[in-house]
Structure 1
Amino acid sequence: MRPTSKNSVADPVAHLVAWHDGDHRAAIQTLMEDVRHLREQLALATAAMSAGYTRGWMPSEERDAR
């Protein structure tokens, strides 16, 4: 979901909750759906790329992976 205005938002968390009319559960649910989607996209990209293409680097779901 994208806001229609192009104004920068000082607090992205407040903006997210406001986007969902103050419903914190709906905001978290949207974020969880986004995480699921991005993990699926990461899995597809990992399966499609070769180690030679990335010089040995492979993506990981872990945040601290190097």
Structure 2
Amino acid sequence: MKPLSLPSTEPDLIEDVLAWHDGDARAAISALLDDCQHLRLQLALTEAAASSGFTRGWRPRFDRQDNA
């Protein structure tokens, strides 16, 4: 008997974001930029509050480093 398998379709995140904003690309970009700004603030607060010993020397990076 063959095991059951789920379809291997990955969600299209761009289409999902646009659909959430009723197809308004400017609203979608604005919301994503707002989210990015909020997360950067949260990261800055965490960096200030967490001691080096707590994070075992890890320091956050505010900019993404692509593995290209």
- TM tier, shorter chain? 0.7 to 0.9
Query: Can you give the 5+ residue segments of structure 2 that lack an aligned partner in the other structure?
Result: 1-9
What's the counterpart of residue 57 of structure 1? 58
Specify the structure having the higher radius of gyration (Cα): 2
Percent identity, aligned pairs only, is 54
Q: How many residues align?
A: 57
> Which 4+ residue blocks in structure 1 deviate beyond 2 angstroms?
none
Structure 1 residue 11 corresponds to structure 2 residue 1: no
SS of the residue 1:36 aligns to: helix
TM-score, length basis structure 1: 0.78
Please provide the CA RMSD for this pair: 1.5
What's the counterpart of residue 3 of structure 1? none
What's the counterpart of residue 4 of structure 1? none
Distance (whole Å) between structure 2 residues aligned to residue 19 and residue 57 of structure 1? 35
SS of the residue 2:42 aligns to: helix
> Which amino acid is the alignment partner of residue 52 of structure 1?
G
> Which amino acid is the alignment partner of residue 51 of structure 2?
S
SS of the residue 1:28 aligns to: helix
